[in-house]
Amino acid sequence: MKLLYQLNAAFTAIIIVIMSLTAFFIYSLLMDLLVQDELRQLEGRAEVLKNIANEQNPSERVAQLSKFIQDSNFPMLLFDRYGEEVLFSTLPAETAKTWVENYDGELIEEEVWESHRGESYVVYDLGFEPSSSGMILVIATPFDDLQVVQAIFAGRMIGVFFIGLMLAIIMGYFLTKKLVTPLTRLKQEVKKIEKRQFSQVQTVKASGEIKEVEQSVRQMAYELERYITSQKQFFQNASHELKTPLMAIQGYAEGIRDGVFEKEAAEKGLTVVVSETERLKKIVNEMILLAKLDSNEDVYHAEETNVIDVINQAKDRLVPLARERDIELRLEADGTFHTFVDRERILQAFINMIGNGVRHANHEVILRSYIEGDVLRVLVTDDGDGIPEELLPHLFERFIKGKQGETGLGLAISRAIVQRSGGTIQAYNNESQNGATFEMKLTKRMSSDEK
């Protein structure tokens, strides 16, 4: 069953249960309300009769009483309580006699009396002054009359409830349809993602949590498209990067085997083969490392580390490269910053960052560190030509490299290590001077927060 029909069925069932319970309680209370209302009316009639009875002029009193009795069509009984004598009655004689005899014993506190035939009456009894006279006036209304009113009201109530139920079901259907329609549309968009039709994914008009889900779905589609595109580029670039050294190795190996290269040429060919083999080995090792960093493999071992010491160590390792290129390598770092990271991995990230700066600098590379509470900012600034604008958005992707790049994997590895360490890394061109800056941020982590 579709969600729309399930929600409508559930909504209708809830309405029926609630309205049925409400109708039951209203019907049960209705008779009590009718009885109380009838008692108030009987009390009013009794007061009128009492006033007539207290009339000083006997002839006037008789005339008013006769007129009231003629105009009023309701059972009435006047009797002597002490003598158990019926003085006046519009009730059947047996009923009047039964009420008089049982008044003091059973009926005096009751609101509903039964006749000798089992018929029920709502009654109001009133004593006359002085109380010693023992005269009691009883005014009654047949219970059947109230039940008729109750039945009429119940019929109308059922009609109103039925109409209300129909209106509620209709409104519920449209409201539910309005709620379910975005979900149906969202399902269609998810189907497009399943078929990798990312460019055809459209926005779904919705609100609340459905809107949040819709935004997450579109973001997922964007990330999937970007991931698939990056994977295609990765395989294309990887195949190109691997093909180049393999072709060189194959060409020289076949030349040496076939005697094309001899003596010095053969020695040079062997040197190229070894060099390209080392390069190929480095590319493969870096690709394996990246794959492991991106997965959950246990290649990252966090320990308490003073990151400032790691920066110094990375700088010392790159001093020979800087001297070879006649680049001044300066470090401006003070204090200590202890956090739980993989010392060897974070060292590798710093070496990649600083080495990249040295390869692209003209005269100097400056390393600066700033401790801001629980955050360490490390800046590697060079005075080179800067990063081409078209390269900036893709700088940390795999096999993306500049003019002086090696394998195109160093910065991608740095980003993976920094992210695994709970930090961020970015690059931008300097505004006030030539060159570019790589900025890394690390946050202090507890020992249990290793991933």
pLDDT digits (tens, 9 = 90+) for 315-332: 999 998 999 999 999 998
The pLDDT, as a whole number, for residue 68 is 63
What is the CA angle 393-435-396, rounded to 5? 25
Q: Which residue has the tokens 């007061």?
A: 47
Label the pairing between strands 328-332 and 364-372. Answer: parallel
Range in 98-102, 287-291, 293-297, 427-431 with the lowest mean pLDDT: 293-297
% of the chain exceeding 70 in pLDDT:
85
Mean pLDDT of the residues in the chain: 80
Task: Name which residue leads in pLDDT, 149 or 404.
Answer: 149
Element (H, E) at 233: helix 208-257
Token pair for residue 128?
Answer: 């006359």
pLDDT tens string 264-286: 888 888 888 888 888 788 777 77
Q: Which domains does the chain have, with CATH numbers?
A: 3-149 (3.30.450), 208-294 (1.10.287.130), 303-443 (3.30.565.10)
Any idea what DSSP says for residue 179?
H
Q: What is the pLDDT of residues 375-384, one digit of tens each?
A: 999 999 999 8
- Checking if the pLDDT of 297 tops 80, the result is no
Segment (H or E) for 104: none
H or E element that contains 144:
helix 143-194
* H/E segment holding residue 437: strand 436-443
Q: Give the residue from 350, 429, 360, 435 showing the smallest Cα distance to 401.
A: 360
Query: Do you know the residue count of the chain?
Result: 451
Count Cβ atoms below 10 Å from residue 48 Cβ, excluding itself: 14
Residue whose pair of structure tokens reads 């009797």 in the numeric block: 79
DSSP 105: I
How far is Cα 142 from Cα 122, in angstroms, rounded to an integer? 6
Q: Specify the long-range contacts of residues 122-130, CB closer than 8 Å, at least 24 apart.
A: 122/35, 122/38, 122/39, 122/42, 122/146, 123/42, 124/39, 124/42, 124/43, 124/45, 124/46, 126/43, 126/46, 126/47, 126/49, 126/50, 127/81, 128/50, 128/53, 129/54
Judged against a pLDDT cut of 50, whether residue 448 lies above it is answered with no
pLDDT at position 3, please?
A: 63
Can you tell me whether residue 150 is helix, strand or coil? helix
CA end-to-end span of the chain:
44
Q: Is 134 helix (H, G, I), strand (E, B) or coil?
A: coil
Token couple for 29: 């209370």
Q: Is the peptide bond before 130 cis (omega within 30 degrees of 0)?
A: yes
427 and 387 Cβ atoms separated by less than 8 Å: yes
Is 0.75 surpassed by the pTM of this model? no
Question: Can you name the residues that pair with 137 across neighbouring β-strands?
Answer: 78, 126
Q: Which residue's entry shows tokens 């003596």?
A: 263
Whole-number Å distance between alpha carbons of 419 and 399: 19
- Give the 3-state secondary structure of residue 107: helix
Q: What are phi and psi of 197, to 5 degrees?
A: -95, 60
Q: In the numeric block, which tokens belong to residue 107?
A: 């009926």
- Residue 450 is predicted with a pLDDT of 45
DSSP symbol at 372: E
Q: How confident is the model at residue 86 (pLDDT cuts 50, 70, 90)?
A: confident
Each residue of 196-209: pLDDT tens digit?
A: 887 787 887 877 77
